[in-house]
Chains A and B, each alone.
Chain A
């Protein structure tokens, strides 16, 4: 398996634009997590899914953020409209019930 695949690796966008981050989890993993990494707060959990169903979205900072998992092999994190303070590295991770979490390489988002 190629591991957790995230796209794009880098995204630069202007304030107010919509941004969509994509994630393909490891096949057979039934949990999917979206994290955001910043210097001040480290790795923060934004939302996680179990069997494609959102379980806990309490970490989603604002209504501008939304996440979907239409099927077991794909998830998106959308920010609309984007703001400079959203600039961070966003990680997707997946796991099976009896494994640790495996992370993707991340998407570095810069909002100017």
Chain B
């Protein structure tokens, strides 16, 4: 039972345009969401997060939007750069887990076309 879903396995975007990566979740107890970025042969690295008390969090070119009623979040990258090509994982956690245990999606491979 996949509680965090990333339905697009891959996405290609032209350099300079906006990249939008989507994530859906089913567990209404999740209250903290994160995005991790992973390059080949490396471990995932933390990118940005959002608490359920917010609907938007911005950090430079990266913005995460949260729609609690739809149980949906998205990561926007503007403008996209070649170095953004990586696999992006959405993750969620819950006070039931002491906010310690992260549940990850299956990832979306983003390719930025120069």
The chain B residues found within 8 Å of chain A, CB to CB, are 2, 6, 34, 36, 41-46, 49, 89, 91, 97, 100-107
Q: Which residues of A contact B2 (CB under 8 A)?
A: 41
B100 to A55, Cβ gap below 8 A? yes
Q: How far is the CB of B67 from chain A (nearest CB, A)?
A: 22
Q: Are B103 and A45 in contact (CB under 8 A)?
A: yes
From B34, B43, B46, B104, A42 is in contact (CB under 8 Å) with B104
**Given A42-B89, A42-B105, A43-B89, residue A48 in contact with residue B100 (CB < 8 A):** yes
Q: Among B89, B100, B106, B107, which residue has the most Cβ atoms of chain A within 10 A?
A: B100
Give Cα A100–Cα B6 distance, bound, in whole angstroms.
Answer: 21
Does B44 lie within 8 Å of A43, measured CB to CB?
yes
- The answer to whether A50 and B100 touch across the interface, beta carbons within 8 angstroms, is yes
B31 to chain A, nearest CB (A): 16
Stretch at the interface among A11-19, A60-68, A70-78, A101-109: A101-109
Task: Let me know if B43 and A4 touch, CB within 8 A.
Answer: yes
Tell whether, in the assembled complex, residue A91 and residue B43 are in contact, meaning their CB atoms are under 8 Å apart: yes
**Within the complex, which residue of B43, B46, B100, B102 is in contact with A105, where a contact is CB–CB below 8 Å?**
B43
Q: Is the CB of A103 within 8 A of B101?
A: no
In whole Å, how far is A59's beta carbon from the nearest beta carbon of chain B? 9
